[in-house]
Structure 1
Amino acid sequence: MKNCTFVTAVALLWLALSTSPTHAASRPTLAQPADEVFYQIFERSFRDSNGDRIGDLNGITSKLDYIKQLGVTSILLTPLQPSPYYHNYFATAFKAIEPRYGSMDDYLAFIRAAHAHGLKVYLDEEFQYVAQGHPWWADALCKPKSRYANYLLWRDAGHCTAEPFLDHAQWAGYDGRMIGIAMVDLNQPAVKKYFQQLLLFWIDPHDDGSGRDGADGLRIDHMMDDLDHKGLDKDLFAQFWTPMFQALKDRRPGLRVLAEQADWGYGQDWLTHGHVDMVFAFPLRDALTRLDKPAIVKALREMDAITPPGKDQVLFLENHDVDRYMSVVGNDMAKARAGAAIELVLKGEPLIYYGQELGMRGKALQNIPVSDGIQIPSREAFRWQADLMAPGSAVWYQGEQAWWTDRYNRSNDGVSLEEEQAAPSSLYQWYRQLLALRQGRPEWREGGQRILCDDDSAVLCILREAGNRRTLLMVNLGHTDAIPRLDPGLIGGNAWTDLLGGGDAGSIDAILRPMQVRLVGTP
């Protein structure tokens, strides 16, 4: 009888552990630092689940298989908070979900589903400002004794004029409405406490340290030490960001923080004094838009020099703030393939903006008054099917405005997942191939990096190494045929395999056509 009781107790204990949401064995392993590949989603434009043509959380959840199979490890969402702006920066509430994206329950279900797929989730946070309609502003306007009176910065003692974002008292939304944006006083103790508790909720909503329904990382938008260089919100690295990040990591030790450094430079101060884990490789992205070998080499060396051990650079060709890469390179497929290969082979953690893998196009509009509408072309609906208007397509921007009448996406234009999955030579298949190689070759993720062919030729040569594993990338960035000038010892000292076509690589220093990519590796 005692043995039966013991066996029963053990069985019940095993059942409790195996069904517990905090039991590690119940979830796939998530990517470690340096192994991550980010997929940035502009929610409103990704996938509509309820027929209103607005992308939403349930739409993203329904496409997690696609995201996982693409070969990425981590999803970066643009802001989820309610806002009068379509991009949901400048919030009117912080601990809330944009109603058109779904509910808090939909959000938590998405996090659980992403984790079940082995995907990490990063949230984009921008709370240095509030938009008109936020309770802090509404309650304190012309009321210096309001409970929120000191949450915002004011230009007058009567609190009737809020300190604006940059120097714009109002900013035009894409629908033409003028909307105010005010600066938050981030040095107020009550404000610091509020945002720390807010972020603790997003990363650990059950307040138990498990993070089972919590975000795995944060992107800090427009991060600065002296916000907008006004001398009003200053010393933020030491007084605001660093203690907050420490408190978050005390709760979730694996949490990672990615900063959008506001100056779009190399990000040294953000990595060292701001204590973030990653910054965006903006100078490298600029060099890659021009496919300029000297500029690429210069950016790589600067990044290597200023990035401390344990910190990293996020490599990207596109994001929600810049023009689509395919449009930047003039719809040139060879250049798009070259840019993708360089981004995904280089040392760092790559980011793919939704639809980049399809070669979606888009450039800021130049023929309309300045408003948030000018960047809608780089935020058009993800192309799931050849028919732009097929169910699920998030074409929320329909209308008579230029961002619709002059849109880039057109039905049956060849730039859709449906069309490209059926085409072996499509850009989508190129990305799948490169991402599969990145998953399978440790030197791409964690290896060292050497710049070869360091000469005045147009051939960019990058060697990635980890132990006895090597990958050599060669890309002819010139306008005429070229031969890579490689060390004869390197050429003859390894058995090279053609990673793109399989089999023996042949003569790895053979002639390269303009924009041709050659990718070889050791077995």
Structure 2
Amino acid sequence: MKKRALLIIAGLFLLTSFPVTGGSAKVTQPPSQKEEIIYHIFQRSFFDSDGDGHGDLIGIRQKLDYLQQLGVTAILLTPLYESVYYHNYFATDFYKIDPRYGTMQDYLRLIKELHRRGMKFYMDMETQYVASDHIWFRDSYKNPQSRYSDYIIYTDKENTKPLQIVAGISDFKGYDGVTRKLVMVNLDNKEVQAYNYQLFKFWMDPNHDGKFDDGVDGFRLDHMMDNLDNLNRLPHLFTTFWNPLLGKLRNINPKIKIVAEQANWASFGMDYLKDTKIDRVFAFRLAFAIRNFNKAELIKVVDSTLIQTPKGKQQIVFIENHDMPRFSDAVKADPGKLKVGCALNLLIGGIPSIYYGQELGMQGSRQNFGITDANDIPDRQAFEWYKSDTGRGMAYWYKNGPWWQHNNNDVPNDGISLEEEQNNPQSLWNFYRTMIRLRKNNPVLIGGAYKNLINNNDHVFSFLRYEWGKKVLVAVNLSGDKQDVVIAMQSAKQIKNLYGIQPVISENNLAVSLPAYGVAVWAVK
């Protein structure tokens, strides 16, 4: 949208009609649809129940009261299966839970307790690669006669040269200093396809009783691609692998939800939503736009992301994840910007996802220790439970090594901890709770359509969420200075202040003065 279109003089606005058509997303769900807010946990760093320094499944179960107090309704964990790497990608056994996290019994108790509380569980899966410790590679390497010979893609007949994976990686050093090979699985192999079906089916219903109370509610598909790593060895996976697999899984449980991590973060993921049987993609471009605090960019990206999403599909809206520098690092821990990020994360639309510790303003940014998984440790540090940053449950599994020098958490009394923020009404943590309550008390913020509202200020982003005769208007000051703004409205007979400052209504315009990084939310009648 051109800049001059954003600077229309107050009183000369084109009147906006409701409900809005002309390309806006249509929402058919009633306002009573159930809320969903995902809490994304890097479980090794969340809560350590047994004192070994590693966060675990029992620790998560012990903290479900906390998660419900915050207001989230679902959890997404990074992979649980056994791997030689601390993040559990690149498996050595897809069926075995990493013993540092606990046992299968611990896992089942967590799932059943989540479901008892009305919460959902999403599992991260990455089956297109394995580490060299996996039996498929160990048995087939230099052994063309192995039963697993065609499970791994080799570039020679002697099985001595496995195909390199994404970014040309073949040998990859773990944070423990040990280097192992990473290899690509042959997803065209019929036995591999059958294995994947049985594997996903198992995690959906571990005891095979068809009730799903002990199984996942959905999967996150890590690095999902049609042409894996753009190497043209597996160039057709949407058709040959993913759609057949997901179709079979839906036949087992039609309610299963599938979210793809699109490999191209610069895209909106529309090809995934149109060409595959997934339900959701991650709104990466929106996450980056929120970090930039640029109104014109934000309007363009939100419009493209939300309005173009096909009917029945959804975007996961987030500002942090386990592969990105923390939002607090991106905004230099500015308290106002942290609250703006929270408001946009939770109010703009889609399915919100909160990365553990985001609600505290935890910091951490990727480092460069060479080709090693240690680079991302600063983005995945221990959840800060205590003012002193010491105490039961602190998961400092990474304490030995050079990455500890880049730890942002071990700073006592810095104002960033649950203990320090819970009883502070002005804290970021309490702001997250306020925004989550606002969503739950106003269902239009859960499932309503999105519409940008033109205003006369380059620093104020304003939008409407609407459905079934309900409307909520949100205005956000993207700057560190007070901003006066006039927003175009039509037939606004009554404005109810839900959060922030009461505006003045005059001749179909809404006028308000927003403080630095101020957020205001109003119900419109």
TM superposition score normalised by structure 2: 0.90
Q: Report deviation, 1:522.
A: 4.3
**Residue 277 (str. 1) matches residue 276 (str. 2):** no
Of stretches 331-340 and 473-482 in structure 1, the one that deviates more from structure 2 is 473-482
Contact 2:503-2:512 within 8 A present in 1 as well: no
Q: Report deviation, 1:378.
A: 1.0
Contact 2:457-2:485 within 8 A present in 1 as well: no
Q: Name the structure 1 match of 2:486.
A: 485
Q: Name the structure 2 match of 1:268.
A: 270
- Which of 281, 284, 290 aligns to 1:288? It is 290
Amino acid at match of 2:305: M
- The CA distance in 1 between the partners of 2:300 and 2:425, in whole Å, is 35
Q: Name the structure 2 match of 1:247.
A: 248
Contact 1:124-1:219 within 8 A present in 2 as well: yes
- The CA distance in 2 between the partners of 1:494 and 1:124, in whole Å, is 48
Q: Name the structure 2 match of 1:499.
A: 498
Q: Name the structure 2 match of 1:40.
A: 40
- The CA distance in 2 between the partners of 1:190 and 1:223, in whole Å, is 20
Q: Report deviation, 1:305.
A: 4.3
Q: Helix, strand or coil: the match of 1:239?
A: helix
Change in Cα spacing, 1:384 to 1:283, as seen in structure 2 (3 Å) is: same
Q: Report deviation, 1:488.
A: 5.0
Q: Name the structure 1 match of 2:104.
A: 104
Amino acid at match of 1:384: W
Q: Name the structure 2 match of 1:369.
A: 370
Contact 1:442-1:466 within 8 A present in 2 as well: no
Of stretches 450-459 and 409-418 in structure 1, the one that deviates more from structure 2 is 450-459
Q: Name the structure 1 match of 2:137.
A: 137
Contact 1:453-1:459 within 8 A present in 2 as well: no
- The CA distance in 1 between the partners of 2:234 and 2:394, in whole Å, is 41
Q: Report deviation, 1:353.
A: 0.2
Of stretches 124-133 and 381-390 in structure 1, the one that deviates more from structure 2 is 381-390
Q: Report deviation, 1:480.
A: 4.0
Amino acid at match of 2:499: L
Q: Helix, strand or coil: the match of 1:82?
A: strand
Q: Helix, strand or coil: the match of 2:94?
A: coil
- The CA distance in 2 between the partners of 1:455 and 1:182, in whole Å, is 55
**Residue 151 (str. 1) matches residue 151 (str. 2):** yes
Q: Helix, strand or coil: the match of 2:336?
A: helix
- Which of 302, 306, 309 aligns to 1:307? It is 309
Contact 2:457-2:486 within 8 A present in 1 as well: no
Q: Name the structure 2 match of 1:393.
A: 394
Q: Report deviation, 1:422.
A: 1.3
Q: Name the structure 2 match of 1:326.
A: 328
Amino acid at match of 1:487: A
- The CA distance in 1 between the partners of 2:456 and 2:373, in whole Å, is 44
Q: Report deviation, 1:395.
A: 0.8
Q: How does 1:2-41 map to 2 (within 5 A)?
A: 35-41=35-41
Q: Report deviation, 1:277.
A: 0.3
Q: Report deviation, 1:385.
A: 1.4
- The CA distance in 2 between the partners of 1:209 and 1:325, in whole Å, is 41
| 1:286-325 Cα deviation digits (max 9, x unpaired) | 1001111111111112113431100011100000000110
Q: Helix, strand or coil: the match of 1:326?
A: helix
Change in Cα spacing, 1:260 to 1:426, as seen in structure 2 (3 Å) is: same
Q: Name the structure 2 match of 1:353.
A: 355
Q: Helix, strand or coil: the match of 1:435?
A: helix
Amino acid at match of 2:433: R
Comparing both chains, which one has the higher relative contact order based on Cα–Cα distances under 8 Å and sequence gaps of 6 or more? 2
Q: Name the structure 2 match of 1:121.
A: 121
Q: Name the structure 1 match of 2:345.
A: 343
Q: Report deviation, 1:476.
A: 1.6
- The CA distance in 1 between the partners of 2:285 and 2:151, in whole Å, is 35
- The CA distance in 1 between the partners of 2:178 and 2:511, in whole Å, is 59
Q: Report deviation, 1:463.
A: 0.8
Q: Helix, strand or coil: the match of 1:484?
A: strand
Of stretches 119-128 and 165-174 in structure 1, the one that deviates more from structure 2 is 165-174
- The CA distance in 1 between the partners of 2:83 and 2:251, in whole Å, is 31
Q: Report deviation, 1:236.
A: 0.5
Q: Report deviation, 1:32.
A: 9.9
Of stretches 63-72 and 446-455 in structure 1, the one that deviates more from structure 2 is 446-455
- The CA distance in 1 between the partners of 2:254 and 2:490, in whole Å, is 45
Unaligned 5+ segments in structure 2 are 1-30
Q: How does 1:209-248 map to 2 (within 5 A)?
A: 209-248=210-249
Q: Helix, strand or coil: the match of 1:449?
A: strand
Q: Name the structure 1 match of 2:417.
A: 416
Q: Helix, strand or coil: the match of 1:65?
A: helix
Amino acid at match of 1:391: R
- The CA distance in 2 between the partners of 1:103 and 1:513, in whole Å, is 51
**Residue 63 (str. 1) matches residue 63 (str. 2):** yes
Unaligned 5+ segments in structure 1 are 1-30
Change in Cα spacing, 1:173 to 1:494, as seen in structure 2 (3 Å) is: farther
| 1:369-409 Cα deviation digits (max 9, x unpaired) | 342111111111011111222111111111241x2123111
- The CA distance in 1 between the partners of 2:71 and 2:384, in whole Å, is 18
Q: Report deviation, 1:187.
A: 0.6
| 1:408-439 Cα deviation digits (max 9, x unpaired) | 11222211111100111000000000001111
Amino-acid identity (%): 40
- The CA distance in 1 between the partners of 2:290 and 2:43, in whole Å, is 26
- The CA distance in 2 between the partners of 1:61 and 1:522, in whole Å, is 40
Q: Report deviation, 1:113.
A: 0.8
Contact 1:399-1:405 within 8 A present in 2 as well: no
Q: Report deviation, 1:174.
A: 1.5
| 1:134-169 Cα deviation digits (max 9, x unpaired) | 011111111111111111100110112211222122
| 1:238-272 Cα deviation digits (max 9, x unpaired) | 11001111111111111000000000120011111
| 1:461-516 Cα deviation digits (max 9, x unpaired) | 011112232211111213543222312535xx2422222269x6566522223311
TM superposition score normalised by structure 1: 0.90
Larger fraction in strand? 2
Aligned length: 488
Contact 2:32-2:443 within 8 A present in 1 as well: no
Q: Report deviation, 1:184.
A: 0.1
- The CA distance in 1 between the partners of 2:295 and 2:35, in whole Å, is 26
Q: Name the structure 2 match of 1:198.
A: 199
| 1:190-230 Cα deviation digits (max 9, x unpaired) | 00000001000001112232101000000000000010011
- The CA distance in 1 between the partners of 2:305 and 2:56, in whole Å, is 36
Amino acid at match of 2:303: R
Amino acid at match of 1:204: D
Change in Cα spacing, 1:480 to 1:383, as seen in structure 2 (3 Å) is: closer
Give the superposed CA RMSD: 1.8
Amino acid at match of 1:295: E
Q: How does 1:74-89 map to 2 (within 5 A)?
A: 74-89=74-89
Q: Report deviation, 1:343.
A: 1.4
Contact 1:203-1:211 within 8 A present in 2 as well: yes
- The runs of at least 4 aligned residues of structure 1 exceeding 4 Å deviation read 31-34, 504-508
Contact 2:83-2:91 within 8 A present in 1 as well: yes
Q: Report deviation, 1:33.
A: 7.9
Q: Report deviation, 1:34.
A: 7.5
Q: Helix, strand or coil: the match of 1:198?
A: helix
Contact 1:34-1:349 within 8 A present in 2 as well: no
Q: Name the structure 1 match of 2:467.
A: 466
Contact 2:385-2:418 within 8 A present in 1 as well: yes
- The CA distance in 2 between the partners of 1:488 and 1:71, in whole Å, is 32
Larger fraction in helix? 1
